[in-house]
Structure 1
Amino acid sequence: MQWVILAVLSLVQALTLSLIPLLSGYSVRVLSGKKPAPEIDDWVGLFVDGWKLNIITLVYMLPAIIVFLVLGGLGAVGLLASEAAGGDPAAAGAAVLSLIGGFLLAAIVTIIMSFIALFATMRFAHKGSLGEAFNFSAILGHIGKPGWGTWIISVIVLIVIAFVYGFVVGIVNMIPFLGFNISLPQRSVHHLLRPLIWRRSTKTCPLPRNIQNNPPFV
């Protein structure tokens, strides 16, 4: 029954564009490491925690948004200027390159910030404090202990898993009724993958003392 409720929450969150983030709120409870699996109750608490998670995500994605808006905006202005000048090919080419460069750079920044936001979310979920999501020194210190090579490999593996999942879900969604009934939005799987990265980090470096006595996911 609980899986049915989670499927409904996932659908509601997708249809409302995370304005009703009850699934995100529940994921915070899961990521806190509570055992057994937490019950789906206290709807107000789920809503509040979901919006806190929305805020964390938005703050960490701001650099990527700014990069895209600045470079993309310059490209758009360049295209308009090119049209005003009678369609100068050189100006149009430069504008297109600016748009492409802005997109690629924003994508790189998004990957980096998503990775950092992952640990921010973990700290918030476990400590129950929104401020812990922005404890940058603690977050960067924990990330740096295993070595960046380890993380790069882990991220590549997760990207491959996400790609395969997306491919399978895309095929399932093309099957009438079946796709609607058994496929959950990508966001749900994103919530489930984050604990795997946390487990990987705790195996390669010690946890902070204030978490050792009640570590999540172990």
Structure 2
Amino acid sequence: MILDIYKDALEYSAKDWKTLVLLGVICLFSFLLLPIFLVAGYNYRVISNAVHGVINGRDPLPEFNDLVDMFVSGVKVVIVQIAYLIVPVILFIIFAALASYLNGMAGIAIMIIGCLITLVVGVIAYLMAQMGLCHMAYNDGAFSKAFDLHEIKGVIDEVGWFECIITYLGLIIITVVIALVISFIIGLVFTVFGFSGFLFSAEAAGGIFLLGMLVNWLISIVVVGPYLGIFNSRSIGLLYTMQI
């Protein structure tokens, strides 16, 4: 079932390259902060489509319209994610403060224990946050449903904590592998051209290397980033449907 989710999400994310490029152009202006909410809002629409769809379905990518609604959805997504991260962050700060007051091995031991506890709580918080977004989408965008801990825990219990963790680990691995492979291919191509440029001049070679870095960055932002964002959003939405 997990492999079916990955297969569906990988194919789904490549259905409309115009939408990917449009999202990528918006990502180029993410330093302005506001575009981040639009991208988050679009990925939320992907989640919403997924929780109301089926694996290996023929769902199209969401329409890129009604920017106000998409922006508001993005704000909700960011708030939910930050809210769930507060607990592990506070835990880490508390353990770090305690460790700073202790000397030697005692401080190190407290810090190690604190990191382990924070990691466990962080994983749980992350799962709750992602399923919270799915639960909100499934309930027609009801913001309170993203924080209904009892219902969200029930969803994870039905899907299976082990299945959820394994699925998310798989998403991380796939995301990293895709990003690294594409960067490696682009880097390799421009490295070859760069060394070829030495036949003409060192300046030409340097220019080719710089151009390669620029192209690599642009493709990562404009194409790879949006593709992986949709891939992850589709995957967690389909994972949520495993309990319905």
Return the TM-score normalized by structure 1.
0.73
Choose 66-75 or 18-27, whichever is displaced more.
18-27
* Preserved CA contact (<8 Å) 2:127 2:164: no
Question: Offset at 1:30?
Answer: 1.9
**20, 24, 43: which is aligned to 2:40?**
24
1:199 aligns with 2:238: yes
Quote the offset at 1:172 in angstroms. Answer: 6.7
Question: For the Cα contact (< 8 Å) 2:46–2:61, is it kept in 1?
Answer: yes
Pair 1:8-2:25 in alignment = yes
Gaps of 5+ in 2: 1-17, 53-58, 188-211
Which structure ranks higher in relative contact order (CA pairs < 8 Å, sequence separation ≥ 6)? 2
Provide the rounded CA distance (Å) in 2 between the counterparts of 1:133 and 1:115.
12
Segments of structure 1 that go 5 or more residues without pairing to the other structure are 79-90, 208-218
1:32 to partner: Cα distance:
1.5
Matches within 5 A, 1:147-158: 147-158=160-171
Kindly report which structure 2 residues correspond to 1:179-198, keeping only aligned pairs within 5 A, or say none.
179-184=216-221, 189-198=228-237
Given that residues 24 and 50 in structure 1 are in contact (C-alpha distance below 8 angstroms), is that contact kept between their aligned partners in structure 2? yes
1:173/1:179 contact within 8 Å kept: yes
Letter in 2 for 1:162: T
Q: Is structure 2 residue 155 aligned with structure 1 residue 142?
A: yes
Deviation of residue 188 (structure 1)? 6.5
The within-5 A match list for 1:112-131 is 112-126=124-138, 127-131=140-144
Change (3 A) 1:128 1:191: same
Over aligned residue pairs, what C-alpha RMSD do you find? 2.9
Structure-2 change in CA distance of 1:164 and 1:49 (3 Å): same
Q: Is 1:172–1:183's contact at 8 Å kept on the other side of the alignment? A: no
1:65 corresponds to which residue?
89
Identity across the alignment (%):
28
Aligned-partner residue type, residue 88 of structure 2: A
Asked if residue 76 in structure 1 is aligned to residue 100 in structure 2, the reply is yes
**Residue type at the aligned position of 1:11:** L
Q: Give the alignment of 1:45-60 within 5 angstroms.
A: 45-60=69-84
Tell me the alpha carbon deviations over residues 73-130 of structure 1, each in whole angstroms, 9 at most, x when there is no partner.
222333xxxxxxxxxxxx1333233334333332222222111111111122332111
Q: Which runs of 4+ in 1 moved over 4 A?
A: 16-20, 169-175, 185-188
Aligned partners of 1:8 and 1:195: how far apart in 2?
Answer: 21
Does the CA contact (< 8 Å) of 1:173 and 1:183 recur in 2?
A: no
Match of 1:105 in 2: 117
Q: Partners of 2:226 and 2:36 in 1: how far apart?
A: 14
**Quick one: which of 32, 57, 62 aligns to 1:38?**
62
Q: Which amino acid in 2 is paired with 1:177?
A: L
Give the TM-score taking structure 2 as reference length: 0.66
* Residues paired across the two proteins, number: 192
Note if contact 1:172-1:178 (Cα within 8 Å) is conserved in structure 2: no
Query: Residues 25-66 of structure 1, C-alpha deviation per residue, up to 9 Å, x if partnerless?
Result: 111222221854333233322222111111100111111111
Partner of 2:177: 164
Shift, 1:12, TM fit:
2.7
**Counterparts in 2 of 1:146 and 1:30: CA distance versus 1, 3 Å:** closer
Cα deviation, 1:120-149, whole Å, max 9, x if unaligned, reads 111223321111111222211121113333
Query: Which whole-Å CA distance do the structure 1 matches of 2:124 and 2:39 have between them?
Result: 24
